[in-house]
């Protein structure tokens, strides 16, 4: 039985220590700004991105990786005698899965599994961790991919944005469209549902928004343990740190991570976004 290698894309934005420990390969998406292309998280860091966004009169666009990038990566791993599981950003908000599937068909489909996480950011990161641990334990290609797909069913993510402007302009607004035109002091609460962004609620204050995020996660977890969680943010590290302490106190998770949203994700949600994700029962 071959060793199984894990591949993901840059939007998962896993901590470097995890990437190194589990030898996870990362294929970057592309940020296009004023005619210049940047590899997400490689040519432009999160801090550089948000600093520029604060003063820029233009907004960037984003693009999925080309199939050739996945093909090269898969090919190298297959040549090392490894099978491959690629766990990627939701096909409902990105064409990244399609690029990977195209690469898979050009190689040995029996040795490459492409898993649509149906989510993004560290929510997908939790799937990657679960799959990587199964791989290290000696799991087969099908077993590792199966863990990733099971994780998908056991993971929820809810988030609060400062404004719907970025989701609207980027075309990723989904069911949150019904909140457009709301009063300016309303804070939208959103979630990933079946791979796309959907509206959950709207509240009047930032404090209430964060309380609502935790209430929703508790409802979705349904009492299942253990809980593996992450708090994600776009350029509000102090607020994120305060939120993670509240999450720890309330949920006592088996593990929890603090993660920034990558420049590509930040392009679509905008600065000031805070999110909680939870994988329950795994």
Structure tokens at 59: 């907004």
What is the predicted pLDDT for the residue at 70?
98
* CB proximity list for 37: less than 8 A, separation 6 or greater: 30, 31, 43, 63
Asked whether residue 137 falls in the same domain as residue 218, the answer is no
What is the predicted pLDDT for the residue at 165?
58
* Listed residues 128, 153, 178: the one ending a domain: 153
Is residue 55 assigned to a domain?
no
What is the domain-level CATH number for residue 250? 3.30.1180.10
Task: Find where tokens 């894309």 sit.
Answer: 9
Is residue 42 assigned to a domain?
no
Q: How far apart are CA 162 and CA 178, in angstroms?
A: 16
Is residue 200 assigned to a domain?
yes
* Listed residues 121, 153, 185: the one ending a domain: 153
- Arithmetic mean of pLDDT, 81-85: 98
Asked whether residue 139 falls in the same domain as residue 72, the answer is yes
Is residue 39 assigned to a domain?
no
Asked whether residue 121 falls in the same domain as residue 197, the answer is no
Number of domains in the chain: 2
Q: Listing from the earlier edge strand, what are the strands of the sheet with 61-63?
A: 36-39, 30-33, 61-63
Closest residue by Cα to residue 278 from 233, 240, 228: 228
What is the predicted pLDDT for the residue at 181?
44
Asked whether residue 165 falls in the same domain as residue 87, the answer is no
Is residue 191 assigned to a domain?
yes
Task: Find where tokens 């766990």 sit.
Answer: 87
Q: Which of 11-15, 195-199, 207-211, 215-219 has the lowest mean pLDDT?
A: 195-199
Asked whether residue 108 falls in the same domain as residue 24, the answer is yes
Closest residue by Cα to residue 89 from 265, 270, 267, 279: 265
Asked whether residue 168 falls in the same domain as residue 244, the answer is yes
- Arithmetic mean of pLDDT, 79-89: 98
Asked whether residue 90 falls in the same domain as residue 18, the answer is yes
Give the H or E element holding residue 31: strand 30-33
Asked whether residue 21 falls in the same domain as residue 118, the answer is yes
What is the domain-level CATH number for residue 79? 3.40.50.10170
pLDDT tens-digit map of 107-136: 999 999 999 999 999 999 999 999 999 999
| C-beta of residue 235 within 8 angstroms of C-beta of residue 271 | yes
Q: How far apart are CA 154 and CA 237, in angstroms?
A: 27
- Arithmetic mean of pLDDT, 219-228: 95
Residues spanned by the domain of 167:
155-280
Asked whether residue 9 falls in the same domain as residue 149, the answer is yes
Q: At what angle do helices 67-79 and 96-105 cross, to 10 degrees?
A: 50
Q: What's the DSSP call for residue 40? A: B
Closest residue by Cα to residue 232 from 176, 186, 190: 190
Asked whether residue 261 falls in the same domain as residue 227, the answer is yes
Is residue 114 assigned to a domain?
yes
* Listed residues 97, 121, 153: the one ending a domain: 153
On the question of pLDDT at 167 being above 60, the answer is: no
Asked whether residue 140 falls in the same domain as residue 190, the answer is no
Produce one character per residue of 86-124: b if its CB has 16 or more CB atoms within 10 Å, e if not. bbbbbbbbbebbebbbbbbeebeeebbbbbbbbbbbbbb
Q: Above pLDDT 90, what percent of the chain?
A: 76
Q: Residue 185: which pLDDT band, with cuts at 50, 70 and 90?
A: low
Is residue 58 assigned to a domain?
no
Asked whether residue 164 falls in the same domain as residue 130, the answer is no
Structure tokens at 48: 């550089």
Is residue 202 assigned to a domain?
yes
On the question of pLDDT at 205 being above 60, the answer is: yes
Task: Find where tokens 């949150």 sit.
Answer: 176
């Amino acid at each position: 039985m071959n060793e199984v290698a894990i591949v993901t894309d840059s939007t998962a934005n896993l901590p470097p220590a995890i990437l190194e420990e589990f030898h996870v390969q990362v294929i970057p998406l592309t940020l296009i700004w004023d005619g210049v292309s940047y590899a997400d998280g490689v040519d432009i860091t999160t801090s550089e991105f948000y600093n520029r966004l604060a003063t820029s009169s233009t907004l960037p666009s984003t693009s999925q990786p080309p199939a050739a990038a996945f093909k090269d990566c898969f090919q190298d791993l297959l040549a090392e005698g490894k099978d491959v599981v690629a766990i990627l950003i939701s096909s409902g908000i990105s064409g990244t899965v399609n690029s990977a599937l195209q690469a898979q068909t050009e190689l040995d489909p029996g040795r490459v599994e492409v898993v649509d996480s149906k989510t993004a950011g560290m929510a997908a990161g939790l799937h990657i961790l679960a799959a990587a641990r199964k791989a290290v334990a000696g799991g087969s290609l099908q077993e590792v991919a199966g863990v990733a797909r099971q994780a998908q069913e056991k993971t929820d993510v809810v988030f609060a944005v400062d404004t719907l402007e970025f989701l609207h302009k980027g075309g990723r607004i989904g069911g949150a469209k019904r909140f457009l035109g709301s009063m300016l002091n309303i804070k939208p609460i959103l979630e990933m549902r079946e791979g796309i962004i959907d509206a959950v609620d709207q509240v009047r204050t930032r404090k209430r928004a964060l309380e609502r995020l935790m209430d929703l996660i508790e409802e979705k977890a349904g009492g299942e343990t253990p809980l593996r969680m992450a708090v994600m943010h776009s350029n509000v590290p102090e607020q994120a740190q305060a939120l993670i302490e509240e999450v720890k106190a309330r949920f006592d998770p088996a593990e929890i991570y603090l993660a920034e949203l990558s420049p590509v994700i930040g392009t679509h949600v905008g600065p000031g976004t805070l999110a909680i994700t939870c994988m329950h029962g795994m």
